[in-house]
Amino acid sequence: MPVVTLDPDDLPPAGRRSPMSTEAPQPVRPGVFHDGAWRYGELAREVRSPYDGRLVAVVSHASAETVSQERRPVRGLAAADRSRILHACAKGLEARRVDLATCISAEIGMPVTDAEKEVDRSVRWLSLAAEAVPHFGGTSTVLSGPDGDRLAVTTPQPFRRVLAITPYNRPLAQLIVKVAPAMLAGTPIVLKPSERASASAVLAVEVLLESGYPPEYISLWTGGPEVAQALLADTGIGFVAFTGSERSAWAVAAAAGPRPGCYELGDVGALVVCADADLAAAARAAAQGAFSNAGQSCRGVKRVLVADSVVDEFAQLLVGETAAWQVGDPSARTTRIGTLIDSAAVERVRSAVGAAVQGGARVVAGGGHRGAQYWPTVITHVDPGAQLVTEEFLAPVAPVVAMEDALLDELPALYSGGLQVGVFTRDFQRSMNLAQKLPVGTVIVNDGPQYDHPLAPFGGVGHSGHGREGVLASARNMSFSKTIVFPATTEGPR
């Protein structure tokens, strides 16, 4: 069924300015790019700033009924063309850095300086993907048998299409970490961003297209979870790249069936601080990992496990770090913490902090809140079984759990899986033992779990996900291996 194109006057009330409103009217933006054309969905959604409630944009979302699987044939792209396109898109994003950062900041409450870094990170992904194109090749081997030697050449072949489902917390980077490797592999991509970050997604796709991204290689469908389910019904989707909650992942995986996919589901990321650690450096890493992007990061610090002999000194240093994290207007360049995605997210973390306090924990810094804002918070004496440290909370909270130093070496036995862990210790052998035994995707020695690099494979173990992301890792995911075996040769050397 085709997407319904609506005249702005025919849109439902959410897409119109109230007669009594003093806000400037916003043009309704098409929220669907499909089969080479921008289209209006049938559902208008107001995008309002979580900081002050002002109207940022109005985006027309699709409904499940309007999702179309019809599309034109896709022409193949030579390696040189893919590299050129990726370089051009990197330059295009860089040229629109201010516009993109302003949109991200207004839509999700991210400080504008962090939003600029979001753009920079996306540019880096595109640039590295462009440079990787000539190296994205196959392998060959000689197969010996009774009929002679055969040459087998194995090459990566792109899936027909990739579906990328992304969350709100890093609205541009989460798209680009899917788009860049898709172009590297040479596969078309269908984007389904969070309905909470639709304005940023629309602008990102506009910039990519303006920069020369082939229209037939990208689609965008804004809307709710029902739109994702409708897209998953497309049998042309060969691979699913999902980033989000574990609960949502189960629904996506059930609809995807046996199709391959990469699922990045977050974690209650730990920073481990041993008794011999550089405590000042560990406190800085804890603050950066717990408070950056208002704690709304899948690989951030969600709990700090500290040797009990140094926990008081560490906590004091961490409290001192909070002073640098100014809460304020996301558009102000002095602001380091803007907002959570909405006030409901604040209420959820407030409830968990309150429950931890009832269990004996102490809030030693922060704890304040206003609207969708939550102040950077340090809470000590947290019980290891508290909800605050057993569930993932996307908020600027650093729960400190004291443990006997010797028990920190037993952490691998307590882990059922995870995404990333940071370990602070001066003991090289101890760091190696923990790094090798912890059942997580990545262990970072003497830094926080928030570390990332586009060329480092990234992903979780167990409840934290399946598969690996990264420039090359994702491109391999989005391809299948095809082996071509050439006839046997029986002639001897000449």
Our answer to whether residue 298 is catalytic in this structure is: yes
User: Do the bridges between strand 418-424 and strand 43-48 make them parallel or antiparallel, or are there none, so unpaired?
Assistant: unpaired
* Lookup result for tokens 């950077």: 376
- Beta-ladder partners of 34: 37
User: Do the bridges between strand 270-273 and strand 418-424 make them parallel or antiparallel, or are there none, so unpaired?
Assistant: parallel
Tell me which of 42, 262, 298, 469 is the catalytic residue.
298
CA distance 169 to 244: 10
**Half-sphere exposure of 475 toward its Cβ, with a 13 Å CA cutoff?**
26
CA distance 138 to 145: 22
CA distance 232 to 470: 23
Q: 109, 56 in Cβ contact below 8 A?
A: no
Evaluate the CA torsion angle 31, 32, 37, 42 in order and state its sign: negative
Tell me which of 107, 116, 264, 469 is the catalytic residue.
264
Which residues are marked as active site? 264, 298
